[in-house]
């Protein structure tokens, strides 16, 4: 297995940009899923309507949907409470980027 990217980053003279590029692919396996080119919300609503018309069970029932919302709420709570710099005195939550106004030449 070898040393972790974090351990390698601690070595004096470490190539940090190279380590960042290597994380996904060398240390964390990635996949490219096939995603259909359609409006997912419209497809979900259409599936729900078909289930009502045909008296069939949906692919995702209400309990699974509620569980997914619970997970999403937990993720948002953790993002909003996270100190991204590792410094407890630093700002927490998602990064907010300043909005720059365009200046026009006089």
Average pLDDT, the chain: 84
Which of the pair, 59 or 88, is modelled with greater confidence?
Answer: 59
Which of the pair, 51 or 85, is modelled with greater confidence?
Answer: 51
Give dist(CA 6, CA 86) in Å, integer: 14
Which token pair is 79? 């993002």
User: Are the beta carbons of 44 and 68 closer than 8 angstroms?
Assistant: no
Backbone conformation region of residue 105, classed left if phi is above 0, alpha if psi is from -120 to 50, else beta = beta
Which token pair is 99? 């909005």
29-41 pLDDT per residue, tens: 888 888 888 888 8
100 exposed, middle or buried (CB, 10 Å; 0-12, 13-18, 19+)?
exposed
* Kind plus residue range of the DSSP H or E element containing 75: helix 62-81
pLDDT confidence bin for 73, thresholds 50/70/90:
very high
């Amino acid at each position: 297995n070898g040393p972790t990217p974090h351990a390698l980053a601690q070595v004096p003279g470490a190539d940090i940009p190279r380590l960042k590029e290597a994380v996904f692919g060398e240390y964390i396996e990635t996949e490219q899923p096939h995603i259909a080119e359609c409006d997912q919300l419209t497809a979900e609503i259409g599936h729900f309507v078909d289930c009502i018309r045909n008296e069939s069970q949906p692919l995702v029932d209400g309990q699974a949907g509620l569980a997914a919302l619970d997970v999403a709420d937990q993720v948002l709570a953790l993002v909003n409470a996270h100190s991204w710099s590792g410094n407890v005195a630093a700002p927490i939550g998602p990064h907010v980027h300043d909005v720059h106004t365009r200046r026009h030449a006089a």
